[in-house]
Structure 1
Amino acid sequence: MSEFRMPSLGADMEQGTLLEWLVHPGDTVHRGDIVAVVDTAKAAVEVECFASGVVEQLLVEPGAKVPVGTPLATIAGEAAPPAAQTPPAAAPEPGVPALSPPPQWFPPLRHLARQYHVDLASVHGTGPSGRVTHADVERAAAPRRRVSPLARRIAAELGVDLGAVTGTGPGGAIAAGDVRHAAAARIAEPAPPKPEPSNRAAAMRAAVAALMARSKREIPHYYLTESVDLGRAVDWLTARNRHLPVPRRLVPAALLLKAVAVAAAKVPDVNGFWVDDRFAPAAAVNLGVAVSLRGGGLVAPAIHAADTLDLDQLMARLRDLVARARAGRLRRTELSDPSLTVSNLGDQGVDSIIGVIYPPQVALVGFGKIADRPVAVAGLIGVRPTVTATLAADHRATDGATGARYLHTIAQLLQTPEDL
């Protein structure tokens, strides 16, 4: 038997609030399944389990705030391996009736099914061993779930349950006006008190401020900056995007993130953690990306193995991560294991950013806005798009020479964007 415990979702987390269980006693779970939603001072986080087996008992009720490490549930035995690794079942002995396997579904789908009032037990599963997939739930809910993309976005922002919205569009499709009408009607109904967004943002800022104060107190920071010529990168990006549909176009941030990740693989001393008075290199470049939240606050979830992704994959991961961060649906691993963080405030108009390292990481890269500036090119003055890259690094793990090599590697990689 194993225990599923309240995880640590960052160096500054001491306790968390269990918001929702996505499993029930008797459910079979596998390592990596999302089983609960936990609220920290920064975000609501989807939490995966570390063991496979059968959920025996849920020890903590939703709404309870408990310290990190508190047992939340017990998991008994080992779950059966996925169907792809399971040999065909033996034929039943004569005279012994065959037992039908119970319906199965991936735990994260419970939340989706509840939202749209779909009975999972009645859904025909097309996944391994008949398990219900996301597509199966969508098909089962299709008659009542035709939703325009704008309506879906507004529903997420206003917290409207689309399953309870009546569509007035063609064939009963849900339009943006239907969502707004449902939100307005809900305002008139009595509702349990919720924390004000300003309170949530204030709590988040307080948590971040406490961690940053600790960082400045304990970490001997040093700072380096380099002005990077992005002329070739911008030209390449413009040519690449010219004939592509909007969803497939790259933004400059994708090039900057990829260069940071590849450079970290080449200069691994900046990619890791300071733990127990020594540097522990990270096994992969899990790039933390600082994301500002609606209503205030900041989180820095990770794009895992960012140096191994091509630019299209990295762009897709970036869009997904930002959307889920702002919707409050991040996952445990995305918050607990970034090995190097990037803060890009260029869209806010700042020229450069001098960051504070997020412990136990040992470095943070900052980018300002991309702007046309006068530079010397081949002995002549020219105007080129440039960006100021800044490195904040931990002097216990690296020195200025290593930091300079890392920043210069980023600059060099951005001169050949086609190779990123």
Structure 2
Amino acid sequence: MIGIELPTLNTNDSSYTLVEWLVPDGNSIEGEEPLAVVETSKASEEIESTGSGILHVLVGGGQECRPGQTIAYLFESAQERDSYRASAVTPATASEPPGAELRITNAARELADRHGLSEAELRGLGRTVVRTADVETLVRRAAPEPASGERRLSKRQRTVGAVVTESMRTVPAAAAYAKVDVGQAEELARQLSERTGSFVSLPVLLIKAVARRHAAHPLMFAALTDDGAVRESERAHVGVTMDAGRGLYTPVVHDAAELSGDRIADLLTDL
């Protein structure tokens, strides 16, 4: 019998979510191959087998798990697995006597308190051990459906959004720069300026190019809400940071995808 332990995938997290098993429980594994998908606050990663054998799952899909935890076993044969199942009660199938004391993990209790969930509501889950994933299920049930134009975010997306928002509030901003050949873009801007009589610059072309990506990347134009969702915009509005000698400000070019280059140029000139 070989134990499959969950490695440390992200030093910032004390627990992860086992999203799904890629190999059904009880199937045969031949050598190293992807077994499961585990989600951290930063990414989803595949966990590979550490050998060959018959897979016996200990942690179900959607459940919380922690680094170093044994999430499955590999048995040499189906007979060995059957013998183990007959002689041992696994965590996934363990039964508790009626009236057993409810056990709540610290992370789950903190989340439940944050959302005002009572112990009676937690008992209503029908579990003897309540984990973070169980509380999140209750929260989703109680939460109203996202308003029209909103999309519910995954746990990873909510975490990233919260971290980025906090970093923008508390950490000095930095910038990365790359050299790009804009010769063709400059020539296009010159031709548009001559044809329209407006001053079409590289920023004008960039605003237009960004706006045209609205259909392909709608989340670029969405606003993060406080309830773990984003409010999508039906139109491509592009903010432009400017310095007119009185400090930085960010006017917004509305419906930029619908505007011509010379119209955007005129708007920027007026600003």
Bucket of the pairwise TM-score, normalised by the shorter protein? 0.3 to 0.5
**Which of structures 1 and 2 has the larger relative contact order (alpha carbons within 8 angstroms, sep 6+)?**
1
Larger radius of gyration: 2
| TM-score normalised to structure 1 length | 0.25
